[in-house]
Structure 1
């Protein structure tokens, strides 16, 4: 698979306009995994936003908690590594934010159920 990827990059290289060269050649640019991993991780953000319509009783505390923790940990890591990867930072902040909100919704629902059971 990497041979195909290298061939595609080699074919696209001459077609990149001069104005986009700094972005193209950047250590975290589209020629590296440092670009593509965060790009595909936006799918987790989109899924989290889609889950905002899901009823709170259907949310998983463990899933939301682990995704929120992952988002927070990788947000920090993305600013420590060389090269600094701001696209990785942005996607992980959004993953953490959406999942922290989902975690809050699930806990609030669980607490409301305890109140209802006492009545």
Structure 2
């Protein structure tokens, strides 16, 4: 741990109320990277939610597939590590859900395009 981080934690230690002590002292609590990594990963979820308004033709299927796979893999991992990291689990479930939804949008769009192409020759 860096000296600055240790100093900040030491100062903050004095102000943590007794009721929040168990969370503060938890092996995956705010004193560790196990807390901060999932906290910052919520940015991916917010970006995924922002992409829900994105035009479907501009979605990247490979990107969505990789995010969905990452979310699923890390969701599983977060439950087998010690200590179990439920915040990591939650964020990765949401990463996977938003990505799977984007994949479904892209697949429906591609199917609709194919249906239009097959319908054109019969209309002539």
TM-score by length of 2: 0.92
What do the CA deviations read for 1:47-69 (whole angstroms, capped 9, x no partner)?
11111111110100001000000
Unaligned runs of 5+ in 2: none
Distance in 2, Cα, partners of 1:101 & 1:42:
17
Q: Are 1:47 and 2:43 an aligned pair?
A: no
Supply the RMSD in Å over aligned alpha carbons: 1.0
Q: What does residue 86 of structure 1 align with?
A: 86
The alignment covers a number of residue pairs equal to 119
Q: What does residue 108 of structure 1 align with?
A: 108
TM-score by length of 1: 0.96
**Which of structure 1's runs of 4+ aligned residues deviate more than 3 A?**
none
Distance in 2, Cα, partners of 1:6 & 1:102:
41
What do the CA deviations read for 1:21-71 (whole angstroms, capped 9, x no partner)?
100000000000000000000011111111111111010000100000000
Q: How does 1:1-119 map to 2 (within 5 A)?
A: 2-118=2-118, 119=120
- The structure having more radius of gyration, on CA atoms, is 2
- Report the alpha carbon displacement of residue 8 of structure 1 after superposing the two structures with TM: 0.5
Distance in 2, Cα, partners of 1:88 & 1:47:
17
